A and B are shown apart, each in its own frame.
Chain A
Amino acid sequence: KQEVTQIPAALSVPEGENLVLNCSFTDSAIYNLQWFRQDPGKGLTSLLLIQSSQREQTSGRLNASLDKSSGRSTLYIAASQPGDSATYLCAVRGRNSGGSNYKLTFGKGTLLTVNP
């Protein structure tokens, strides 16, 4: 059974710092990995999607890397801003045992606080 772990559970940094969030997964047979952002009491917003054949994806100040063989992904946030404060979740998509369906398994998230 796939398990996804995110470290640290919480992180507090001053504005302007570069930071890295970590995600690890136990079963390397994944199709893709997705990073989400969640603001308090809200739904999830997709940030980046990395296919299993890719090593990284970039969007603005965000860069996500994937090392499938070691079961690790990182989300790098450059020049952090107070508006980046949120919970960041990673999720991996593996093959459902029933066939061609795709199931996301989530980590518990990292709560990021960027202080002005």
Chain B
Amino acid sequence: DVKVTQSSRYLVKRTGEKVFLECVQDMDHENMFWYRQDPGLGLRLIYFSYDVKMKEKGDIPEGYSVSREKKERFSLILESASTNQTSMYLCASSNGGAQLLPEAFFGQGTRLTVV
């Protein structure tokens, strides 16, 4: 079974802190994604990566950055956490390639609270 693992289920951080959310997948997937989920807004894509060291902005990249140094790991970085970044963060991975029609698999989520 594909496994996507997020390093923390719950995090509480202070405003202004630098926050790292880590995600690891074990199926050698090319594509990895970070979403945030908020009530009434649904899931929104923050960043995604289609290869090591490659990244593209999603719909709401402001205030975030990402790092993909190894294929299996995709990190989301909040450079200076703010209260409006309190949310559920979801990592996903999928296989890639123009001819493949990949299925996406999600981690268990990280509930981040910024105080």
Partner-B contacts on A (CB < 8 A): 31-32, 34, 36, 41-46, 49, 51-52, 89, 91, 93, 96, 98, 100-104, 106-109
Contact = CB atoms under 8 A, between A and B. Distances in A.
Interface of B: 4, 6, 31, 33, 35, 40-43, 45, 48, 50, 56, 58, 88, 90, 92, 94, 96-98, 101-109, 111
Contacts, number: 67
Q: Is the interface of B mostly helix, strand, loop or mixed?
A: strand
A101 B31 CA distance: 8
B94 A102 contact: yes
B101 to A, nearest CB: 5
B90 A100 contact: no
B103 A49 contact: yes
12 contacts: A31-B101, A32-B101, A41-B88, A43-B6, A43-B109, A45-B106, A93-B104, A96-B56, A100-B50, A101-B48, A101-B56, A101-B96
Contacts of A43: 4, 6, 90, 106-109
Nearest to A52: B101
Contact of B45 (A89, A104, A109): A104
